[in-house]
Structure 1
């Protein structure tokens, strides 16, 4: 049940939009092309299994984890807030 300026189902629409945004963001960061033999950051060899599992990979697992941690620190702010939540 919605109240104020929001229509019925607005909360679910907001949740769905946030999920869609995150999926699109994640897809845009997927590597493409030929995988690197060595990590672009630390120059360690990237295992064959990783290169086959994720075509286009450029970083070893350790360096990729660091990059992921840095990116996750910026996530979490919902830019699609409803008027109701802005008025409170």
Structure 2
């Protein structure tokens, strides 16, 4: 039951979309498993052997991984609910 301008089932659609995003993120991470690279797939810099041993399937150097983590951290906090409380902040 939706109210106001929302269509029926809107809440369930939001829940389904959030779950789908989570599943897609996990699938993307699983695809990165396997043998690690000796060179970063983004910048081409050599990945140190210690990092390759510490992180199985590592494909990025420390700098590129840090940048990716910063980028993903910003998108992780998105509030799909659009509740009145979140709109007032």
The alignment's TM-score, normalised by the length of structure 1, stands at 0.55
Where do 1:1-88 residues align within 5 Å?
28=27, 29=29, 31-78=32-79
Instruction: Name whichever of 27-36 and 41-50 sits farther off.
Output: 27-36
Displacement, 1:77? 3.3
Displacement, 1:67? 0.7
Structure 2 unaligned regions, length at least 5? 1-18
Describe the shift of the 1:48–1:26 C-alpha distance in structure 2 as closer, same or farther (beyond 3 A): farther
Task: Give the Cα–Cα distance (whole angstroms) in 2 for the partners of residues 50 and 27 of structure 1.
Answer: 22
Misfit runs of 4+, over 2 Å: 24-31
The alignment's TM-score, normalised by the length of structure 2, stands at 0.55
Task: Give the Cα–Cα distance (whole angstroms) in 2 for the partners of residues 41 and 77 of structure 1.
Answer: 26
Secondary structure of 1:36's aligned partner = coil
Secondary structure of 1:73's aligned partner = helix
Higher relative contact order (Cα pairs below 8 Å, separated by 6+ residues): 1
* Higher helix fraction (1 or 2): 2
Task: Give the Cα–Cα distance (whole angstroms) in 2 for the partners of residues 52 and 38 of structure 1.
Answer: 14
